[in-house]
Amino acid sequence: MNIAVLLHGGAGGSGVVATELGLCFAKLGHNVHFVADRVPFRLTEIGAPNVYFHQVQSMMYPLFDAPLTTIAEASKMAEVIEEYGIDVIHAHYAVPHATAATLARDMVRGVPKPVVITTLHGTDVTLVGLDPAYLRTTQYSIEQSDLVTAVSHYLADYTHDEMGIKRPIHVIPNAVDLQRFVPRALPNLRLRYAHPDEKLLVHVSNFRAVKRVEDVVRVFAGVSEHIGARLLMIGDGPDRHRSFELASELGVSGRVSFLGSFPRIEELLSVSDLFLLPSSKESFGLAALEAMASGVPVIASDSGGIPEVVKHGVTGFLHPVKDVTSMTKSAIRLLSDPAMHKRFSLAARERAETAFSEQTVLPLYQRAYDEALERRLASSGK
């Protein structure tokens, strides 16, 4: 099969999922064409068999304030379809990829039209897609896709209820690479960030407002009053500076390392003791899943799809959004009870293995692709 993957190339869960999934399909022998404005953040395997990258080039013109990326994407995608005979376009994140994908599918001539699978990831529905500026086009593009998936039941329900989408949405959870994200003993790496008698907390995100990174710092400051601890802040985004300032204000900046954004986070996750994710909205929480696969329990908010990933009282603790006090108490409880921590750590890995392995999730996408292609075939025979 020839698959084109339309994704956001920067650091972010939807791009990570799109890349990992595409690479899995390439390993199965399918040709996978990544189409994005830059080499995707986690695409460390360019040159791997069956993997191609096509860069979307936008044209700037003084009349426009910003490049017209949706048009540029659709044009590039149409070229890729016509040149490579694409069977499936998988658009990750509805805005603007579902729009560009359906437009490209409808534009091409002289070759069989591909089917468009749109995967909803989160703020493409809960924030950006619902904005009046984008709502009508996003609704239309979701309805025009050949098949739609969402990464959690929460997101599928939200899309039906709040966006008014009527069509069925298949729920396919995100997967994690269990060989890459795995508990590892790396004492020398850990020593770079924490003394042997200290606990190491970690947060990974794109530091947007929904991540509530200031709550990460507040929970850490509360924990530090009772336990010797350090915090790793991995990623970058609009709220990084504010969280840096807050660490200073709370007197913990000497114990917080801001490491910026980089793709190979697996070793740092595996030497950490606790992952913090206090987001106000989170349709899934891929970073929490990667932590769990690494044997790291999670303290998170109970918002959105997080409870479908993190099991309260088993693989971590969940509390209402903004409830820094309860999150802090749970973190202290978990970090000061080695037997409980061990139990949670094993349960976290086990949950990642049983519910979110690539072997479990990949066939669900394969089935979705087949279903869309079969429907297309059936309707073209009518």
Cβ neighbors of 215 (< 8 A, separation 6 or more) are 278, 322, 324, 327
State the nearest-atom distance from the C-beta of 124 to ligand GMT, in Å.
6
* Alpha helices by DSSP H, the chain: 13-27, 69-84, 94-107, 123-126, 135-144, 153-163, 187-193, 213-224, 240-249, 266-270, 286-293, 306-309, 324-335, 338-355, 358-380
- Binding to ligand GMT (CB under 6 A) within 136-165 occurs at 151
Of 109-117, 241-249, 282-290, 357-365, the window that binds ligand GMT (rule: CB under 6 A) is 282-290
State the nearest-atom distance from the C-beta of 68 to ligand GMT, in Å.
21
User: In this complex, which beta carbon is closest to ligand GMT, that of residue 80 or of residue 94?
Assistant: 94
Q: Is the dihedral of CA 185, 191, 195, 198 positive or negative?
A: negative
CA Rg, the chain, in Å? 21
Decide if 124 contacts 138 (C-beta within 8 A): yes
- Binding to ligand GMT (CB under 6 A) within 216-255 occurs at none
Q: Site for ligand GMT (CB under 6 A): which residue of 4, 9, 14, 213?
A: 14
Instruction: Check residue 212 for interaction with ligand GMT (CB under 6 A).
Output: no
Instruction: Check residue 281 for interaction with ligand GMT (CB under 6 A).
Output: yes
Instruction: Check residue 15 for interaction with ligand GMT (CB under 6 A).
Output: yes
Instruction: Check residue 122 for interaction with ligand GMT (CB under 6 A).
Output: yes
* Count of residues engaged in binding ligand GMT, rule: CB under 6 A: 19
User: In this complex, which beta carbon is closest to ligand GMT, that of residue 206 or of residue 257?
Assistant: 206
Instruction: Check residue 293 for interaction with ligand GMT (CB under 6 A).
Output: no
User: At CB < 8 A and 24+ separation, what contacts does 21-28 make?
Assistant: 21/90, 21/175, 21/362, 21/365, 22/51, 22/90, 23/48, 23/51, 24/175, 24/358, 24/362, 25/1, 25/362, 25/365, 26/50, 26/51, 28/362
Q: Site for ligand GMT (CB under 6 A): which residue of 2, 19, 70, 123?
A: 123
State the nearest-atom distance from the C-beta of 52 to ligand GMT, in Å.
22
- Binding to ligand GMT (CB under 6 A) within 18-77 occurs at none
Instruction: Check residue 278 for interaction with ligand GMT (CB under 6 A).
Output: no
Of 185-193, 280-288, 314-322, 335-343, the window that binds ligand GMT (rule: CB under 6 A) is 280-288
Of 116-124, 176-184, 223-231, 336-344, the window that binds ligand GMT (rule: CB under 6 A) is 116-124
Instruction: Check residue 12 for interaction with ligand GMT (CB under 6 A).
Output: yes
Of 9-17, 67-75, 336-344, 362-370, the window that binds ligand GMT (rule: CB under 6 A) is 9-17
Collapsing DSSP to helix, strand or coil, 331 comes out as helix
- Angle between the N-to-C axes of helices 69-84 and 94-107, in degrees from 0 to 180, rounded to the nearest 10: 50
* CA–CA gap between residue 309 and residue 13 (Å, rounded): 14
Cβ neighbors of 279 (< 8 A, separation 6 or more) are 205, 210, 211, 212, 285, 300, 301, 303, 304, 306, 321
Interface residues with ligand GMT (CB under 6 A)? 8, 12-15, 17, 121-123, 151, 174, 206, 210, 281-286
